[in-house]
Structure 1
Amino acid sequence: MPPEKDPYTFWQETLHGARYIVAPMVDASELAWRLLSRRHGAQLCYTPMLHSASFVKDAKYRRDALQSCDEDRPLFIQFCANKPDVLLKAVKMVEGHCDAVDLNLGCPQAIAKRGHYGAFLQDDWDLVYSLVRTVYEGSKLPITCKVRVFPDIDKTVRYAQMLESAGAQIITVHGRTREQKGRFTGLASWAHVKAVKKAVKIPVFSNGNIQYLSDVERCLKETGVDGVMTAEGNLHNPALFQGLSPPVWEMAKEYMTLVRLHPCPISFIRGHLFKLFQHCMLLKECKDLRDRLATRSTYEDLLSMVEDVEKHFHLYHDGSKELDLTEAVECVKKLREPIWLCQPYERPQSDISEPQAKKPKQEETSDCEVLPPGLSKNKLKKLQRYPNKQFRPRVLAPKCIQCANPRGEKCERKLCRVCCKSTCYSESLDCNGHRIWIGSKRQQALISTQHQVTVTL
């Protein structure tokens, strides 16, 4: 049945008029991080995006996804979906575990394109309407939507009105198109957000361009939205909604304490620490700390690394020692706050109307250094962020003498497995290196056959 409360009553009473909101982030908005964010001003949190089909089928996936506690409210559980009946089954399974469900209509990644969900449902309005309407009519939970915009403001407005008519109780508008990602991320368009807010009669949240509390207040004033959501700003500074920039180790230690109470995968912990320490780790003197963060795989090792970061930077923080940035990369020199304080990563700006325009190759590097040739794109990006990083030389295995594939290291014929198996099959041979014993098996079969013939005679 449709929710009894109208959207604004739901926002005011159930969500307590939440204005400061932490976005759903894959592998990053787990319970421990949500609790940390709530302690520092967040009034509403989302779970990471969950795949509705996997949620319905996999009990372990459900248990991990539904990790929560009494402090973790109000809470929205976000799903991606492209089948209304499957989405409804997933929503019914979370009734009682959250305050609303959110339909992800904003994920711009390639995996969303392959799976036909997220922002790539923008082209199928009938399906989107059916997804929202099915949950609106079939569940006790309110359904909300998080969307990306179209380049055209009018089309974005019509899209939002369609979602409102389908039963969406709240719309979060990420003011970027689905093409604005990676190095083309640029600025979000608050003009799109403002137009949607004026056109619908339900609460609207804005997402994008939030790095400081002043940005939150400016967004509320300029767009008229009911709440402001942040993702990357929260990851670099969990105290953003308090208007504070605490030392990075304070946030890291508090997070690690929460992880002890509410465990999560080591990869999640490492990801959060990299975001918190991102600026610190660009210093040459922090190479050992950076390497430890990248390679250690236990909670205790990562906690020890956090404590060592505190020891390293505390002398600078209390004024006992002055940090020399003369040899630091340019992106560190331009920071507003001291390098050891929580602060945002500032993306380069790009125009929403030309999200796919490629820059000349010589402009693709950052302000840090001119990058050497011969590295992959991913390694070049890493080298931009960590100029002192060294990559292991790639050693090419010797090739098979019959084809271009790498040969087996222990193959006495110097062949790859495919060629070796073919040779052994045609010539009744063995290969200890590839553990192929065709010749031996044939010999055993022949002996067995001869023995049976002898017994018969």
Structure 2
Amino acid sequence: MVDASELAWRMLSRAHKAELCYSPMFHSYVFVKDPKYQKEALASCPQDRPLIIQFCGNKADILVEAAKLAEPYCDAVDINLGCPQAIAKRGHYGAFLQDDWELLTEIVSTLSQKLNVPVTCKVRIFESIDHTIAYAKMLEKAGCKMLTVHGRTREQRGPLTGIASWKHIKAVRDNVSIPVLANGNIQCLADLERCLEETGCNGVMSAEGNLYNPFIFEGVNPPSWEPALEYLDLVEKFPCPTSYIRGHLFKLFQQLLGLPDNFKLREELGKGSTLKEFRTTVLKLKEKYIQFHNGAQVWNEEKEDFNLQFPPWLCRSYVRMTPEEYLKKMESFKASSGSGKEVTF
């Protein structure tokens, strides 16, 4: 995860039952050319294993050069074939390589032959299950030793993300002989267990779910300040850019910072630039809500229905509106504004 799975966050996740971690996605060309970028990317420690280092790129020779520099620090090298963002389209990498099977065969086979560690791939599905199976088998034949299958198409991103297809993932698992990890729809431990049962995969990857609740593999929804303070302690030991820290804290406190009563604290967190300032804001949030968490005060929240809900200080996955809801809301906005311009909510 770009700017999100740095060493401190990986160590936090490992402390709470993550058994395998990936580095952020690194651009192979920049990795080869920029020693500073390379040094920061390879930040690790003896406890940070097993570790897979992930690269994007579209030239086999550059990817090999980058991977050879990284292989002493990891247990496998992953080729990202799943990034659906506009920057990946402009750079012709990630999910925008999935139609060029000749190039992918060259990349995977070249890395497989020249590296001393396994080559793995993270992919997205095609709409057609049969085409997805053929894609997976092509990568396996080229030398891929493990597949992580994100059960969404390249177009399913942002407000159009929708539900991942475990049927596609199961079809891949049933038709290749290499290990397969499932990715998509993992918001809690029960999802993980159900996914393994339905897909037959060898493991489950959590990306976004982990960012909003790094205790996800323990089946625990802690008060947000617990992982936040533990993470800040790890950043003391394993420094990282301020932007990473701020991004993690905004996700951990997403529910609380969305309450009007906490807008000043949200602004404070946004302006924070030191570990001391971040810790101060976290402790203010803890002091404000710990009495509710401990039951010393009763939390009364207005509700429109009788569904049980997590209180806002507990970590929980981010749930987007459905694509159908988004499109309906966008059309309504266009009609009322007369702008005709697309708007993201």
TM-score (normalizing by structure 2)? 0.94
Question: Do the aligned partners of residues 232 and 334 (structure 1) sit closer, same or farther apart at CA in structure 2, a change above 3 Å counting?
Answer: farther
Answering whether residue 314 of structure 2 is matched by residue 341 of structure 1, we say yes
Answering whether residue 38 of structure 2 is matched by residue 62 of structure 1, we say yes
Partner of 2:180: 204
Partner AA of 2:153 in structure 1: T
Question: Do the aligned partners of residues 209 and 57 (structure 1) sit closer, same or farther apart at CA in structure 2, a change above 3 Å counting?
Answer: same
Bigger fraction of residues in helix: 2
Partner of 2:149: 173
Q: Secondary structure at the match of 2:316?
A: coil
Q: Tell me how far apart the structure 1 counterparts of residues 337 and 232 of structure 2 sit (CA, whole Å).
A: 38
Q: Tell me how far apart the structure 1 counterparts of residues 311 and 23 of structure 2 sit (CA, whole Å).
A: 32
Any idea what the Cα deviations from partners look like across 1:88-137, whole Å, max 9, x if unmatched? 11111112100000000000000000000000001100001110000001
Superposition deviation, residue 322 in structure 1: 2.1
Partner of 1:261: 237
Q: Secondary structure at the match of 2:73?
A: coil
Q: Tell me how far apart the structure 1 counterparts of residues 331 and 99 of structure 2 sit (CA, whole Å).
A: 35
Question: Do the aligned partners of residues 372 and 267 (structure 1) sit closer, same or farther apart at CA in structure 2, a change above 3 Å counting?
Answer: farther
Answering whether residue 290 of structure 2 is matched by residue 314 of structure 1, we say yes
Superposition deviation, residue 141 in structure 1: 1.3
Answering whether residue 333 of structure 2 is matched by residue 361 of structure 1, we say no
The alignment of Structure 1 onto Structure 2 pairs a total of residues equal to 342
Answering whether residue 7 of structure 2 is matched by residue 35 of structure 1, we say no
Any idea what the Cα deviations from partners look like across 1:198-252, whole Å, max 9, x if unmatched? 0000000000000000000000000000000011110111111000111100110
Q: Which has the higher contact order (CA 8 A, sep 6+)?
A: 2
Superposition deviation, residue 377 in structure 1: 7.1
Question: Do the aligned partners of residues 232 and 277 (structure 1) sit closer, same or farther apart at CA in structure 2, a change above 3 Å counting?
Answer: same
Partner AA of 2:212 in structure 1: H
Q: Secondary structure at the match of 1:49?
A: strand
Gaps of 5+ in 1: 1-24, 352-356, 366-370, 382-457
Q: Secondary structure at the match of 2:31?
A: helix
Q: Secondary structure at the match of 1:46?
A: strand
Partner AA of 2:236 in structure 1: R
Q: Tell me how far apart the structure 2 counterparts of residues 77 and 108 of structure 1 sit (CA, whole Å).
A: 19
Any idea what the Cα deviations from partners look like across 1:251-303, whole Å, max 9, x if unmatched? 10000000000011111000000000001112121111111111122221111
Asked if the contact 1:187/1:350 (under 8 Å) is kept, the reply is no
Question: Do the aligned partners of residues 273 and 203 (structure 1) sit closer, same or farther apart at CA in structure 2, a change above 3 Å counting?
Answer: same
Partner AA of 2:83 in structure 1: C
Q: Tell me how far apart the structure 1 counterparts of residues 299 and 217 of structure 2 sit (CA, whole Å).
A: 28
How large is the RMSD of aligned CA atoms in angstroms?
Answer: 2.2
Question: Do the aligned partners of residues 372 and 311 (structure 1) sit closer, same or farther apart at CA in structure 2, a change above 3 Å counting?
Answer: farther
Asked if the contact 1:146/1:174 (under 8 Å) is kept, the reply is yes
Q: Tell me how far apart the structure 1 counterparts of residues 95 and 104 of structure 2 sit (CA, whole Å).
A: 11
Asked if the contact 2:159/2:322 (under 8 Å) is kept, the reply is no
Q: Tell me how far apart the structure 2 counterparts of residues 39 and 364 of structure 1 sit (CA, whole Å).
A: 45
Partner AA of 2:132 in structure 1: T
Q: Tell me how far apart the structure 1 counterparts of residues 77 and 228 of structure 2 sit (CA, whole Å).
A: 30
Any idea what the Cα deviations from partners look like across 1:146-168, whole Å, max 9, x if unmatched? 00000000000000000000000
Partner AA of 1:359 in structure 2: K
Q: Secondary structure at the match of 1:48?
A: strand
Answering whether residue 106 of structure 2 is matched by residue 123 of structure 1, we say no
TM alignment of 1:13-92, pairs within 5 A: 25-92=1-68
Partner of 2:171: 195
Q: Tell me how far apart the structure 2 counterparts of residues 362 and 90 of structure 1 sit (CA, whole Å).
A: 46
Q: Tell me how far apart the structure 1 counterparts of residues 200 and 37 of structure 2 sit (CA, whole Å).
A: 38
Partner of 1:299: 275
Superposition deviation, residue 32 in structure 1: 0.2
Gaps of 5+ in 2: none
Answering whether residue 210 of structure 2 is matched by residue 248 of structure 1, we say no
Identity across the alignment (%): 54
Q: Tell me how far apart the structure 2 counterparts of residues 271 and 299 of structure 1 sit (CA, whole Å).
A: 13
Asked if the contact 2:330/2:342 (under 8 Å) is kept, the reply is no
Q: Tell me how far apart the structure 2 counterparts of residues 281 and 82 of structure 1 sit (CA, whole Å).
A: 40
TM alignment of 1:143-154, pairs within 5 A: 143-154=119-130
Asked if the contact 1:247/1:340 (under 8 Å) is kept, the reply is yes
Partner AA of 1:113 in structure 2: K
Question: Do the aligned partners of residues 271 and 119 (structure 1) sit closer, same or farther apart at CA in structure 2, a change above 3 Å counting?
Answer: same
Superposition deviation, residue 358 in structure 1: 4.1
Answering whether residue 254 of structure 2 is matched by residue 278 of structure 1, we say yes
Question: Do the aligned partners of residues 325 and 103 (structure 1) sit closer, same or farther apart at CA in structure 2, a change above 3 Å counting?
Answer: same
